[in-house]
Amino acid sequence: MTAVPTIGVLALQGDVREHARALEAAGVRALKVRRPDELEQVDGLVLPGGESTTMWRLARSFELLDPLRKRIEAGMPAYGSCAGMIMLADRIRGGVAGQETVGGIDMTVRRNAFGRQVDSFEAAVPLTGMGDTPYHAVFIRAPWVESVGDDVEVLGRAEGGPNAGRIVAVRQGRLMATAFHPELTGDFRVHHYFADLVRRTTEED
């Protein structure tokens, strides 16, 4: 019988509890990760929404930034939502001076691309590999992806309005990211998709 994987949630800020609940609904164990030794205990990691500059600074303060990079380079699956998407991007536009990321996905992400907090919105987004029904996505000070490398699969784009066609969900190998917050809905398809990715990875390794 295949062991149940443990997926961490980077617990520096953001919707940690909501992501943990969604992961458990997807049939995996969830563990809050604040220290390098906790990072070593997980089979995959969720980088939640929040504020990307604060997350970067806290990761530095907690001595997590370099361990995160090493685990991802070694093949650990990771999923980033909103600020987590920025953290997994190789390149940022609109960031603060000196802002760093964990990296791993060959993409350029624009920070706060959809506007400020007052510009938050909800929209239906079709997602590749997650059923025929569009996902009811919640965007809060959300980024978007301006460009991707050849190895990045676009999983979802914004539809309708002035931002139609903007990339809002991607995957590159064992890494994936969304500009929206799936943990704030009762629809856990994104977490199920990531949990399945982690399960396949643990079987392969």
List the catalytic residues: 82, 181, 183
CA–CA distance from 174 to each of 8, 99, 107, 190 (Å)?
15, 24, 15, 14
- Token pair for residue 42? 């997980």
CA-to-CA distance for 165 and 157, rounded, in angstroms?
Answer: 5
CA–CA distance from 34 to each of 17, 54, 73, 144 (Å)?
14, 14, 19, 27
148, 107 Cβ separation under 8 angstroms: yes
Which of 142, 165, 186 shows the shortest CA–CA distance to 51?
A: 142
